[in-house]
Structure 1
Amino acid sequence: MKRLISYIALAATVGTVACNKEALNKGPLNLYSDSNVWKDSALISRVVLESYSKIHAIYDDAGNWMICDITDEAKAAKSFLESNQINSGQYSPSSNINTDLWTNTYTAVRNCNSVLSHLDETPLSAGGKQQIKGEMLFLRALHYMDLYFTFGRFPIIDKVLTLNDELTMGRATDEACINFMVKDLDDAAAILPGSYPASSTGRATRFAALAMKARLLLNHKDYSGAAAAAKEVIDKGGFSLFPDYGAMFFPENDDNSEVIFNKEYAGDLSGQVHSLDDYNNSTYFTGFGSVRDCPTQNMVDQYLMTDGKPWNQSALYDPAHPYANRDPRLHASVIYDGTTWMNTEMDLKLGSAMNPGTSSTAITGYLLRKFMNPNYIFGGNNTNYQNCIMMRLGEVYLNYAECQLKLNNPGEARTYVNLLRKRVNMPEITGTLTWDDYVRERTVELAFEGQRFNDIRRWGTGATMIGAAIRAMQVGIVNGARTYTSVPLEQRFFEDKMYYFPIPQDQLQKYPAGKVPEQNPGW
């Protein structure tokens, strides 16, 4: 499952690479001269591998705050986390939020540019050079997409520059940024293979490039372009929906049939790990003040009853058992009171051993279940870290469906929404697929996966989906029976300027006088 490390096996393609462990056991790359690196196939492979390791995935944010915490999906349990500043509107450029993302993106881009600039002088075969070129173009676009979705327009750097040169680059126009990323993805798609042998799982493919292009163009509201890219993935990619929605994210199902691209966590081989299981389980399991990201009642309310109706319109809803007869994706995504997790019935009443209200509080009455490993060994040498799925067929279906709705083809959109509902045995939509139907389906299908903030920006619904009144579930006991009451938790703040983060002040201060890029509007 953790096969990206076998990138060293590129020897079969490029010729002279050493065995995997021998290549990995060599010293740090900064101990080699630049000229020596590009003459050694094993070192070249390590540089390429390093480019993959620099991918920013939502799992990398575990232990801090995840982007779901600044939408109506979730609430960070710790008051000291930056997401609470964001949700109250108490931040500015000098808060330097996401400054590491800015720095790390340009470090990653520089690595891609370095590989691209040296490819011609390497001893690799023509086919090996082309393949690596495609991968670097894909990764460069992926890094820039992360920057673009956070800050908007960015300085385009497409070659290795000196530090002084880099600090004179201004922010490109929005059109130039989009065109640059699309070209990288198009060029990558034209070069990359559609698939790899199992020994090379985890590397970028033609279809990963096309699916990322569809995501980018959808967010740019180029519905025809996004639809065309998504449909090519659907028709030609050979992917299929994984039959078990919840288990799709378990480590034993890494690289399953639905995965188009993910970040591979290779444990003891590459040193890449994440802390998702440690920081999002109750202190009952972890032994320390662990909880970070808690689903909101707002999010739970989005899950329909099994008759296809909202909870407040369905005869199936029982306030004494509010989680019964719900869309199965609720159980797969959220730990709620009374459910079983790690062979333990969860008691989320405030003050219980599982929700003590001190160092480890499920502040909303819920814990995150999606992505979590139900067999994680706390305090053990558990190296089976689950991959982070960054693009899957389910999202491609939804991206395509949204484009079709915008292009006035609701019947085509309904087909792909119903495929997702059928997977979890929810009633198919037989009448007209409304915009609200689509938004709800996207909300629950992609819950916590990191796309909601982009969706909200695209839809222009920040006032209601970011600046929302956040609610929690209060679990009580009356006459020996458990009660469930939805209660207000916090009123969030939103202004349109918050669709993009301000450029961190500590980054702007690095520029020489007269060359400082303009700040985002309103900041």
Structure 2
Amino acid sequence: MKRTSKLYKIGAFLALLVGSPYLTSCEKSLDEEAKTFINPDDFFSNETQCIQAVNGVYETLYDIYSSPDYWRMVDLGTDVAYSKDVNSSVQNYEYGSGNTGTGNLWLNAFAGIKNSNLVISRVSKAPIDGAIKDRVIGEAKFLRALYYFNLSNTFGAVPLWTDEIVIESISSLERSSLEDVRKQIVKDLSEAEGVLPLSYPSSDVGRVTKGAAQTLLAKVYLYAKDWKNAKATAEKVVNSGTYSLMSDYSQLFDVNTGFKNNQESIFEVQYLREPTSNKNTRTHSMISYYIPQRDAGKSTYAGVDFGKLVVDGWSVFLPTAKLVTMFETGDKRKDIVLGYGFKDQKFTSFPKPGYPWFGSKFWDLNARGQASGKDLYVLRYADVLLMLSEAENELDNISGSLKWMNMIRERAGLPALASSTTKAEITEKIFTERAIEFVGEFQRRFDLNRWGKLVEAAKSVAVDNPIGAAKVRPYHQYYPISQDEIIKNPNLKQNDGY
């Protein structure tokens, strides 16, 4: 395929090398190498430059996962969360091609794919150690797969390209089928799995690992209903012995327990804030959207004193009544996911009488203003276990399915499901367990879509979201492509219904 023009190459590379602080070990080299103009033809000549380049591909993670628009599009309009903003186009299913509800996901994900393609192409020819070359390319292929995973879950069929190509070619590409996109994702992850390490030295924690590639690959198989490959791939993660469940669900989200990159974490977006010096290296604002609203003119939140915490509490996201009822008696996760108070203080006001706020899972007591340095999970071991439970159940292996499901339930303080549990009952338990376990972790809408349950779920929370419950339709499985993108590329065909 035709290579990029010199001008476009320089422009793409400038966007790539803006200086990502994603990985601690690379901060110094990133700062030192930042220049006004860098031609990629003069770069990629040593290991440091190649590693710096792939660091730039990680940068897109922040553009996607730090965005409130992304949080809205994966949880609002589902059965786990709603917004007090009655004009929310996402939860009301009132978006269209001029107002897609997806923020800049299309632009950001394709920017990450473009940068991945550049790194894969150039590093493959770089005169560096073979093991480093393979690892860097493996990192870029995982990230390209993750960006395509997000795109395909959001829009369905999307343009597919894996080479450096001229901007004119990109802007005329037609949408590839969902099947072809998934084939490319599987190819990238399978190749990445073969070259990525199980772990890194502490100076490089946060990079993509073999386990991350295997976990995302298992998830892609699960979404495609390829149960045998989903099971086999997820079992590789288990059998590696690299990961295990944290003993206490609350430890996964408590910034004061050193939770970052813990034994259960497989891949998370790395953030950094130093509360003692109030230095914000890389932050997001999730706490502002999930903590109870700050009382007017006071330093309390819903009547509770959080000590030194001073954040803008908007409480945009609220748990649905349906989510509250999903918890069984004795579920230890309930007081972490849902917020009824803080320490020995009970909230004195609630979104509605009898309704809780979202709980400490989403809080960061070291945050300030809108700045939180709390890492955000993309993949963790509990997901592997529930994927195994689902795959085994679909393969009619009830005992195998219960084995994995009961590991999750045991941590939650719940009794094991009996061996007499039927396939249909396990299916319903998986539906509920994934809602409870992963609320706020960028999964619910994608899960509902792959199960064909989005409309049903939206209608089930009419008490919280009456407009959305009335307006949701089957075609809302996918979001619309922005009209701006269709104007730039007339070969893009809009999704049905918009």
Give the TM-score category using the shorter length. 0.7 to 0.9
Out of 17, 29, 33, the residue aligned to residue 39 of structure 2 is 33
The equivalences for 1:324-363 within 5 A come to 327-336=331-340, 339-340=341-342, 344-349=345-350
- The one-letter code matched in structure 1 to 2:404 is Y
Out of 446, 450, 455, the residue aligned to residue 463 of structure 1 is 455
| Corresponding residue SS for 1:298 | helix
- Find the counterpart in structure 1 of residue 169 from structure 2: 165
**Does the 8 Å CA contact 2:294/2:314 hold for their aligned counterparts?**
yes
Out of 261, 264, 286, the residue aligned to residue 258 of structure 1 is 264
- Find the counterpart in structure 2 of residue 521 from structure 1: 496
- Aligned-residue offset at 1:469: 3.2
- The one-letter code matched in structure 1 to 2:410 is K
- Aligned-residue offset at 1:203: 0.8
Out of 439, 443, 452, the residue aligned to residue 451 of structure 1 is 443
**Does the 8 Å CA contact 2:61/2:269 hold for their aligned counterparts?**
yes
- Aligned-residue offset at 1:130: 0.7
| Corresponding residue SS for 1:92 | coil
Out of 397, 401, 407, the residue aligned to residue 419 of structure 1 is 407
- Find the counterpart in structure 2 of residue 136 from structure 1: 140
- Find the counterpart in structure 1 of residue 306 from structure 2: none
**Does the 8 Å CA contact 1:466/1:493 hold for their aligned counterparts?**
no
- Aligned-residue offset at 1:266: 3.4
- Aligned-residue offset at 1:244: 1.3
Out of 496, 506, 509, the residue aligned to residue 474 of structure 2 is 496
| Corresponding residue SS for 1:391 | strand
Is 2:294 the counterpart of 1:283? yes
Instruction: Specify whether residues 362 and 211 from structure 1 end up closer, same or farther in structure 2 by C-alpha distance, changes over 3 A only.
Output: farther
- Find the counterpart in structure 1 of residue 61 from structure 2: 55
2:248, 2:311 → 1: CA distance?
31
2:352, 2:165 → 1: CA distance?
47
The equivalences for 1:79-94 within 5 A come to 79-80=86-87, 84-94=88-98
- The one-letter code matched in structure 2 to 1:388 is L
- Find the counterpart in structure 2 of residue 72 from structure 1: 79
How many aligned positions are there? 454
- Find the counterpart in structure 2 of residue 17 from structure 1: none
**Does the 8 Å CA contact 1:29/1:43 hold for their aligned counterparts?**
no
1:24, 1:258 → 2: CA distance?
29
Instruction: Specify whether residues 333 and 28 from structure 1 end up closer, same or farther in structure 2 by C-alpha distance, changes over 3 A only.
Output: same
- The one-letter code matched in structure 2 to 1:296 is T
The TM-score with structure 2 as length reference comes to 0.84
| Corresponding residue SS for 2:333 | helix
- Find the counterpart in structure 1 of residue 485 from structure 2: 507
- Find the counterpart in structure 2 of residue 479 from structure 1: none
Instruction: Specify whether residues 141 and 364 from structure 1 end up closer, same or farther in structure 2 by C-alpha distance, changes over 3 A only.
Output: farther
| Corresponding residue SS for 1:93 | coil
**Does the 8 Å CA contact 1:99/1:507 hold for their aligned counterparts?**
no
- Find the counterpart in structure 2 of residue 483 from structure 1: none
- Find the counterpart in structure 2 of residue 297 from structure 1: 321
Percentage identity across paired residues of the two chains: 24
**Does the 8 Å CA contact 1:6/1:199 hold for their aligned counterparts?**
yes
Instruction: Specify whether residues 374 and 172 from structure 1 end up closer, same or farther in structure 2 by C-alpha distance, changes over 3 A only.
Output: closer
**Does the 8 Å CA contact 1:231/1:400 hold for their aligned counterparts?**
yes
1:489, 1:154 → 2: CA distance?
29
**Does the 8 Å CA contact 1:497/1:521 hold for their aligned counterparts?**
yes
Deviations along 1:481-501, one digit per CA (max 9) or x if unpaired, are xxxxxx989745321100011
Gaps of 5+ in 2: 1-19, 296-300, 302-309
Instruction: Specify whether residues 211 and 288 from structure 1 end up closer, same or farther in structure 2 by C-alpha distance, changes over 3 A only.
Output: closer
Deviations along 1:260-317, one digit per CA (max 9) or x if unpaired, are 11111134899431111233222135564622111111111100113xxxxxxxxxxx
**Does the 8 Å CA contact 1:298/1:471 hold for their aligned counterparts?**
no
**Does the 8 Å CA contact 1:277/1:376 hold for their aligned counterparts?**
no
The TM-score with structure 1 as length reference comes to 0.80
The equivalences for 1:188-337 within 5 A come to 188-251=192-255, 252-267=258-273, 271-281=281-291, 282-284=293-295, 285=301, 286=310, 288=312, 290-306=314-330, 327-336=331-340
Is 2:157 the counterpart of 1:153? yes
Gaps of 5+ in 1: 9-19, 307-326, 350-360, 473-486
Instruction: Specify whether residues 270 and 124 from structure 1 end up closer, same or farther in structure 2 by C-alpha distance, changes over 3 A only.
Output: farther
| Corresponding residue SS for 2:282 | coil
